[in-house]
Structure 1
Amino acid sequence: MTDYVLTLRCNNRRGIVASVASRITGHGGDIFEAHQFDDQETGMFFMRVAFSMEGSEEAFRAAIAEEEKGFGLDLTLRPFGQKRKVLLMVSRFDHCLGDLLYRARIGELPIEPVAIVSNHPREALNLTLMGNIPYHHLPIAKDSKAEQEAQIRRLIEETGAELVVLARYMQILSDEFSADLAGRCINIHHSFLPGFKGAKPYHQAHARGVKMIGATAHYVTGDLDEGPIICQDVEPVSHADTPDELVQKGRDIERRVLARAVAWHLEDRVLINKGKTVVFAK
């Protein structure tokens, strides 16, 4: 038996769930997890089904093409837990990168890191987990942004990276590059969006005397720190915390939020719903 994950989105119509479930069981499939959501505001329907099946994947794909065409499904199907090629980007703060590499090494994240890109040299990072992952130092200046992004595009194409993760990459991507990466680039922002966007959010939060700090993982769009949100978390703080202490506490939140968002994306638990997301978490 092989485990699969099927996801779909479409305009809502009657009979979708019954037809898809019947198609799976008709091919000897055994459904062990199922989620669905009918968005009353947009009229869109979202579904994620995990199932085991002995039969041919090709035969099943050919058969479910009937539902795909009949209901106008935006459908994906892949073996559950299949490793995906990921390109990681980082600046000087390497705690999120180190956490992702560790989780990949112990098998917690099904990723194959194909490259690490940074605007700082490798010596600026303090990691010992990079191993033989190719490291690309691509510095960026005001007049070299387009050239640097073209180099990253080539790396994505050459490595076959399916996902780009900005693991505290402290550079703003161009609108064009953000559009190219739509739905396949995750960023971690060290704040609980939509508050405290841009640079030094912990210092902004300290100046406002907040009692909670947080982090937000979201898909990258051309609007700075406003892409569809995947995952967030918070932690209490007090008036006695300095900005540096907020930064220190924030590192732990950033690590776990980014790892959770990447895991959900890889497990096909996140479906984009215009400017928002539908997240079928466990």
Structure 2
Amino acid sequence: MTSTNHAKPWIFTASCPSILGTVDVVTRYMAEAGNYVEEIHSFDDSESKNFFIRIEFQPQNENFSAEQFNAEFASRAAEFDMEWQLTEPQHRQRVAILVSKYDHCLNDLLYRHRTGQLNIEIPVIISNHPDLKELAEWHDIPYYHLPISAETKPYQEAEIVKLLDQYDIELVVLARYMQVLSPWMCEQLNGKAINIHHSLLPGFKGARPYHQAWEKGVKMVGATAHYVNNDLDEGPIIAQGIQTVDHAYYPEDLVSKGQDVERVTLFNAIRYHIEKRVFLNGSRTVIFSH
């Protein structure tokens, strides 16, 4: 029987080596345990020899518990060396936003959070500038201004990590946080921080990239959202966006169009992450977008 109350589903995610029977062991248990599968995605990577699966399901047993599920499934998963995670429907990830002076991504995330498009909690905003404090206060979110210089960088980053621990943060979003993180900081945030940056072809780096792009007659602007690692702007990619432009776009127009793409791309990346649609596969990602 199908569920008729449109309740938010439980989410099951798992990965393991590519072995015959991986789909069967999961779906068979779901059926035997009385869990109605509403959505299922799986992928077997023939290159890495890894298998990935994501299931949304509704328990039909009113006495369903995560503890019982994990205990019963453990013996079956062990045969496949399978690692899995069960996410409760009511769980809202606690997200810290790091930002500098550009407010377009922060504004967009706060709006989507306020309207329920992003099912997250935002208990803290951290910045190396004071400029966006009023925006945070309007949303009744604590705002920490932590200035940074070459000399104070180790102390400033240590203070950020303390705040992440204090607020029990599960995910960090760099919403145009215009600082290069130290190797130590990248290690602290490995796998639990998402960054957004422009994607212009060819690659224009340094100051005023959109003005550089305009001078070369760029024909597209884009954005890339990725996990943070110690390779500057080269972590595993989660989402990308692109828009075409032409000769009628002046530098200011390119900036505006680029910021639009950044907003949507960052939102998609966060949504994929919190909905457990992203799997790390070496330096790449597997994304079950829909």
In the other structure, the counterpart of 2:149 is 141
- Offset of residue 128 of structure 1: 6.6
Q: Residue 216 of structure 1 corresponds to which residue in structure 2?
A: 224
Structure 1 residue 92 corresponds to structure 2 residue 98: no
TM-score of the superposed pair, with normalisation by structure 1: 0.94
Aligned to 1:75: 84
Instruction: Read off the aligned partner of 1:60 and give its amino acid letter.
Output: F
Q: Is the 8 A contact 2:41 2:54 kept in 1?
A: yes
Deviation at 1:253, TM superposition (A): 0.7
In structure 2, how many angstroms separate the alpha carbons of the residues matched to 1:199 and 1:231? Answer: 24
Moved over 6 A (4+): none
Aligned to 1:161: 169
Partner Cα distance (2:231, 2:46) in 1: 26
- Which consecutive unaligned segments of at least 5 residues does structure 1 have? none
| Distance (Å, rounded) in 1 between the aligned partners of 2:268 and 2:129 | 26
CA displacement, residues 21-56 of structure 1 (integer Å, 9 cap, x when unaligned): 111111110011111111111111111111111322
Give the whole-Å Cα distance in 1 for the aligned partners of 2:194 and 2:250.
29
- Asked if structure 2 preserves the Cα contact closer than 8 Å seen for 1:35 and 1:280, the reply is yes
**Distance of aligned partners of 1:204 and 1:71 in 2 relative to their CA distance in 1, 3 Å threshold:** farther
Are the counterparts in 2 of residues 209 and 239 from structure 1 also a CA contact under 8 Å? yes
1:270 counterpart (272, 275, 278)? 278
Q: How many pairs were matched up?
A: 281
CA deviation profile, 1:212-265 (whole Å, cap 9, x unmatched): 110111111111110111111111111232222211111111111101110110
Task: Give, as a single letter, the amino acid of the residue that structure 1 aligns with 2:11.
Answer: V
Q: C-alpha separation between the residues in 2 aligned to 1:5 and 1:193?
A: 38
1:61 is the counterpart of 2:67: no
Map of 1:49 onto structure 2: 55
Which 5+ residue runs of structure 2 have no aligned equivalent?
A: 1-6
Q: Distance in 2 between matches of 1:234 and 1:81?
A: 33
TM-score normalised over the length of structure 2? 0.91
Q: Distance in 1 between matches of 2:207 and 2:161?
A: 25
Seen in structure 2, the aligned counterparts of structure 1 residues 224 and 194 have a Cα distance that, compared at 3 Å, is: farther
State the shift of 1:268 in Å.
0.4
Once superposed, what is the RMSD of the aligned Cα atoms? Answer: 1.8
SS of residue in 1 equivalent to 2:48 = coil
- Secondary structure in 1 matching 2:177: coil
Q: Distance in 1 between matches of 2:53 and 2:206?
A: 34
Q: Quick check: 1:14 aligned with 2:20?
A: yes
C-alpha distance in 1, partners of 2:58/2:85?
16
1:260 corresponding residue in structure 2: 268
Percent of residue pairs bearing the same amino acid type: 47
Matches within 5 A, 1:4-43: 4-43=10-49
Q: Which amino acid aligns with 1:51?
A: F
Q: Deviations over 1:148-183 (max 9, x none)?
A: 110011111111100000001000111121122111
Tell me the CA shift for residue 68 of structure 1.
3.0
The equivalent position to 2:213 in structure 1, one of 198, 205, 211, is 205
CA positional deviation for 1:193: 8.0
